Structures are given as structure tokens and as C-alpha cells.
Structure 1
Amino acid sequence: MRILIVDDHALLRAGVKHILSEHPDIEVAGEASNGAEALARIQAENWNAVVLDMSMPGKSGVELIKQIKAERPKLPILVLSMHTEDVYAVRTLKAGASGYLCKDNAETQLAQAIRKVAKGGLFMSQAVAEKLAVEMLSGTSDAPPHTLLSDREYQIFQLIARGRSVTEIADELNLSVKTVSTHKTRLMQKMNVANVAELIHYAIRHDLVPEENRMPE
């Protein structure tokens, strides 16, 4: 199986290659450090699966997934992410990914996950599967406010809840401060919160941010 690794950190790409070097049926045949490189390689070559990091500069991971699926609808995408939140995983799967694996579990589960998605299957934890099923079966009228955010709004919501300032978010996502501020205003309106403190409290109450990454209330 020819695999494309997409991650902006060379060290992490090397780690993935090292893990997969023990599995002769899986060949890391290409690497990309950003979304533009990934799309160029996907358009130019044939792949059995893409292993995609979610936290890269520029396009959000969800946006990149949608763009890849628009170019290659049948190409399986396995998301390899530092984020453990179930809601974040559900968003990637609804965008078109075939699997979601936390980097903490990569050493033991990566090869298994790649094989499964490359053969047309889905790979996710039981908690993610349950949350995905609930969201797919329930209507949006009773959906929690955070599930109604756009992909970019949700990404910025996550970063605010982790304590990032508007300027820091703009630098991290390669956006203007004005653009981030506009998204911040819209997401707070959608979530019906008056200030950042209420937003952080919401994130903690709904267990949307790991405890070690939370900004104090």
C-alpha cells in the first residue's frame, strides 16, 4: 500500500515512517508538509491512503479533508491528531475522513488503522463511534451550540478555550487579526456567550478541551 504522510513537522513524519518501517505491506511513498503540497501530490500520483495531521498552518484540517475528497472522492484519509476530543474527531469523519487516531496511540494502532481504511473500512474509538451515531441520528434543533459552528469557527473556539489570544491564533493559522476577530464574534453569537470566560466555562462543561490545555476560568 502506497501511503502519503501529511504533517508540517519533519520529526513527526520521521516518527510515522519509523513506526511503519516494521510493516512491509505498507510503503511511505511520499510526504507533504502542508495542504498545498498534499493536494499537488494527490493530484499527480495514486495513493492507497493519506495519513493527515490536523494541526497545520493555513487551512483547517477539516477544510483540507473536504478539498482532498473533492479531488479524490474514493481516497481514504486517516487523521492522526494530537486532539483527543470526541467532537473534534466527529467533525473530521463527517467531513469525509475514514479514520481518526490520536498520536498517543500511533505506535500500537497506526498500521492497523491504515490497513482498515485502505480496504474501505472505518477506524475510530468506541466513544467517537457512539458520538457520531448520536449526531447523525439526532436533528439539529436540539444540537448543542458548538456543533453548529463552521469548521473555522470551531477551530478558533478550541484555541480560545486553550488560552490563545486573537493575535496568537492569527499567527498560528496564518490569518489576519481582523479575520480571527470576526470569527470570534460570530462563534460567540452562535453559542450565545457574552465573553471569553463564558466560552471557556462552556468548553469545560462540555468536556471539549483536555484538562492540561484548559485556560483557567
Structure 2
Amino acid sequence: MIRIVIADDHTIMREGLKRILDGAPDIDIVGEAIDGFEVLGHVRQGGFDLLLLDLSMPGRSGVDLIRQIKSEAPKLAILILTMHEEEQYAVRAIRAGAQGYLTKESAGTQLVGAIRKVASGRPYISAEVAEQLVLNIMMPNESLLHKQLSDREFEVFSLLVAGKSITEIANNLHLSVKTVSTHKTRIMQKMGMSSLSEMVQYAVAHRLLSPFKT
């Protein structure tokens, strides 16, 4: 039996996932979480095999949360279930320790298969994201400025272009306002940009706009 915890801040999404997974005789949902704090609570309590994790939840989330989970429970399998089809999110999540990456557009049968595969110790990437990875490899000459950013800088960048203020980002990522401002300055320097509007235009052009929540 594969014991899983579902982490998503949308009730309707969690309920939908439970209905899909109820039909799988080898999967048992043993817990739910609506933010990073509750996720870490489940991790510290233990008693499950796989975490089905949304990348964009209130408070601590994303790559930072994955790294924290892996530092406390290195053997716990993590399958990302997200709206992000962009390969850059998948690459960073997997580098941080996630074993699988699936978009919310995927069919229920694909989700069940992904859970079984990741729980068995094998990696899984959805077809949509795999296609993005292949396209990236086929266009090696394209200058992707955001790839120069560290994981933390990319997270701050994603929140900035999503319309979050410096203070909101600081609260979301549990950083000081000064630290976030420093990250913003470094991001703009690395990307050769002088305004937020340039960053937003770049994000739109490269499909990096992110539906982060507060």
C-alpha cells in the first residue's frame, strides 16, 4: 500500500484528487496539507511514503520547501503536481529533490501511474514538460537569461513578475525586506534589465508567469 499526503491550498483540488485516487486499491490517502507549515508537520510526524505537492502554496513553498523536506526526510518520495508546464520549474524542483513532476492538466490515470512509479523509486516527468525539455535542447542558441539565476533568485523573480510587492515576497519566503531587495537588484543585474516591466515582458515571452497565491 502506498501511503500519501496531498498538499494543495485549494480545497476543490484536494477533493478532486481524493476522488481520483479512491479508485486505486493500492493507494491510501493518510493526510492533507494546505501550506508549507502543515507539510513540514506531516513530514516530521512521518507515517507515509509519498508527498503529492503543489509548487505554489501560501508561505514556504517551491524549491525551498522541497529542500527542507529532503533535509529532514531524505527517503520520502515527492511528486510535484502543478500548473507550471515550463521546463525550468521542473528542472529546479527535481534538482532540489523531487522524484516526479506532473502538471494538473494530466489525466487521472496518468496521476495514478506517476504515483506508483515515483513510489517505486523511479523518476517521472509528464509528457507536457518532457516536450518543453526537448524543445529547449533543440534550441541551444537561444539566450535564456533566467537560467543564470540561482533557485532563490528565480523564486523571487517569479513572485515579482506575478505582481507581488517586496514586502509580500519577504513575508511569503520568510526573508527580510532588505534581503529581497538585494535579490531583486542581483536579478536585474544578471538579466541586464533596468525595470520590472522588462522582467514581466521577458516572463510573458518565455511563459514564466506564475500563479502564486498569498
1:49-60 correspondence to structure 2 within 5 Å: 49-60=50-61
Distance 1:65 1:29 in 2: 20
Q: Is the 8 A contact 1:57 1:173 kept in 2?
A: no
Identity among equivalent positions (%) equals: 52
TM-score using structure 1 length? 0.80
Gaps of 5+ in 1: 137-141
Cα distance change of structure 1 residues 64 and 134 upon mapping to structure 2, 3 Å threshold:
farther
Change (3 A) 1:9 1:204: closer
2:25 matched to which residue of 1?
24
Q: 5+ unaligned residues in a row in structure 2: which ranges?
A: none
Quick one: which amino acid aligns to residue 114 of structure 1? I
Task: Give the residue type in structure 2 aligned to 1:115.
Answer: R
Q: Deviations over 1:143-184 (max 9, x none)?
A: 843123232321221233334444554565566655443322
- Report the Cα distance in structure 1 between the residues aligned to 2:128 and 2:102, rounded to whole angstroms: 12
Residue 82 of structure 1 deviates from its aligned partner by 1.6
- Give me the CA root mean square deviation: 2.8
Aligned match of 2:158: 158
Alignment partner, residue 194 of structure 1: 194
SS for the counterpart of 2:75 is: coil
One-letter amino acid matched to 2:85: T
Distance 1:87 1:31, change over 3 A: same
**Match of 2:92?**
91
Shift of 1:119: 0.6
Question: TM-score normalized by structure 2?
Answer: 0.81
Q: Is the alpha carbon distance of 1:172 and 1:75 closer, same or farther for their aligned partners in structure 2, counting shifts above 3 Å?
A: closer
**Equivalent residue of 1:59, what SS?**
coil
Aligned positions, number: 206
Alpha-carbon separation, structure 2, partners of 1:133 and 1:74: 29
Q: In 2, Cα distance between the equivalents of 1:113 and 1:59?
A: 25
Whole-Å separation in 2 of the counterparts to 1:189 and 1:25: 50
- Aligned partners of 1:59, 1:45: CA distance in 2, in Å? 19
Letter aligned with residue 149 of structure 1: L
* Alignment of structure 1 residues 1-217 onto 2, 5 Å: 1-105=2-106, 107-126=108-127, 128-129=129-130, 144-166=144-166, 169=169, 177-209=177-209
CA distance in 2: counterparts of 1:165 and 1:37, whole angstroms: 25
Amino acid at match of 1:192: G
Q: What is the CA distance between 1:21 and its match in structure 2? A: 0.8
Matched letter for residue 162 of structure 1 = A
Instruction: Between 30-39 and 95-104, report the one with greater CA deviation.
Output: 30-39
Larger mean Cα displacement after TM superposition, 4-13 or 70-79? 4-13
Letter in 2 for 1:156: V
